[in-house]
């Protein structure tokens, strides 16, 4: 990618994206939401709710969160975002993407909605990817910043700290200990008698570390993410995604076909995947039960 481009996006680039985000989510009415929100939502809160349900550009923290998400990506991704938003804000270049001589900043909200719909339904793959990028960033960021009233309306707990996942569960109080992190760049740690260094602390690394340690090897595990004990895992969506996932939860494939939730914390996927993984097939669970006595 062009080396003359900055390695961080500017807020003017983010503001161009926000104009499109407003075409994805914007104000609503009581009649439009009545049949889709929690039936136990208080009747006297409807009017207050629709007044707080507003466009991303007017949602506190939305602009700053998008800025952080984009800048947490690779340099190539940042450069691509800068080129894209600069083109969309240009009277000369924008028509190649919008088929309109009206810049996005001068489009009405219905015009931006029609533009997004045209990208979504376009036979051109690049435009469909562009729609997916805008819609995914908009929806995922909006959910993270949802107000308490919005969470009540959709019957979604803001924080859910449970000491036990089920009544008979026995909690292991063990906490991992760590070496002190160097206090300045370029520092060297002197760790004598280390036989093996393992990069990462996810499922694969955990098995390897356990096996080698049992065989008598002194093993050091290096992990760039932070460690949180069970009692510290009490985040709201915004903080949880930021603390536990690579790239603040905004890691994508180069063609924007897929968003990837990659754990970036001590334990990696074993810390975050329990809430999202597919159920282990019956054949595998039966084998574990027959061969190792592992309960279903």
pLDDT exceeds 60 at position 275: no
pLDDT in tens, 89-110: 999 999 999 999 999 999 999 9
Tokens of 199: 């990069």
pLDDT in tens, 37-57: 888 899 899 999 988 888 999
pLDDT exceeds 60 at position 1: no
Q: What pairs with residue 245 in β-bridges?
A: 263
C-alpha to C-alpha distance for 127 and 221, rounded to whole angstroms: 43
pLDDT in tens, 247-262: 777 777 766 667 777 8
With beta carbons less than 8 A apart as the criterion, state whether 77 and 83 touch: no
pLDDT bracket for residue 296 (50, 70, 90): low
pTM of the model: 0.73
With beta carbons less than 8 A apart as the criterion, state whether 229 and 246 touch: no
Strands 219-222 and 196-199: parallel
Structural domain boundaries in the chain: 11-154, 237-292
With beta carbons less than 8 A apart as the criterion, state whether 249 and 262 touch: no
Average pLDDT, the chain: 86
């Amino acid at each position: 990618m062009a080396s003359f481009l900055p390695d961080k996006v500017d807020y003017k680039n983010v503001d161009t994206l926000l104009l499109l985000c407003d075409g994805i989510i914007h104000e609503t009415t009581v009649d439009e939401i009545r049949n889709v929100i929690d039936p136990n939502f208080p009747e006297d809160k409807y009017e207050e709710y629709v007044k707080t349900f507003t466009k991303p550009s007017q949602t506190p923290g939305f602009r700053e969160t998008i800025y952080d998400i984009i800048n947490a990506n690779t340099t190539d991704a940042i450069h691509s975002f800068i080129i894209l938003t600069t083109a969309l804000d240009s009277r000369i270049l924008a028509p190649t993407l919008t088929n309109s001589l009206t810049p996005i900043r001068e489009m009405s909200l219905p015009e931006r909605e029609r533009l997004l719909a045209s990208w979504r339904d376009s036979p051109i793959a690049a435009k469909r990817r562009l729609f997916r990028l805008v819609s995914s960033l908009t929806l995922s960021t909006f959910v993270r910043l949802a107000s308490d009233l919005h969470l009540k309306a959709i019957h979604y707990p803001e924080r859910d700290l449970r000491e036990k996942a089920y009544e008979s569960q026995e909690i292991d109080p063990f906490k991992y200990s760590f070496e002190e992190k160097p206090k300045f760049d370029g520092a060297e740690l002197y760790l004598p008698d280390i036989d093996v260094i393992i990069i990462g602390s996810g499922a694969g690394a955990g098995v390897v570390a356990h096996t080698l340690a049992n065989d008598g090897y002194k093993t050091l595990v290096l992990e760039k993410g932070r460690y949180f004990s069970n009692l510290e895992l009490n985040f709201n969506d915004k903080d949880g995604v930021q603390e536990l996932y690579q790239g603040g939860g905004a890691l994508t494939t180069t063609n924007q076909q897929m968003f990837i939730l990659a754990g970036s914390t001590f334990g990696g996927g074993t810390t975050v995947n329990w809430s999202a993984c597919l159920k282990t097939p019956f054949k595998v669970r039966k084998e574990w039960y027959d061969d190792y006595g592992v309960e279903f």
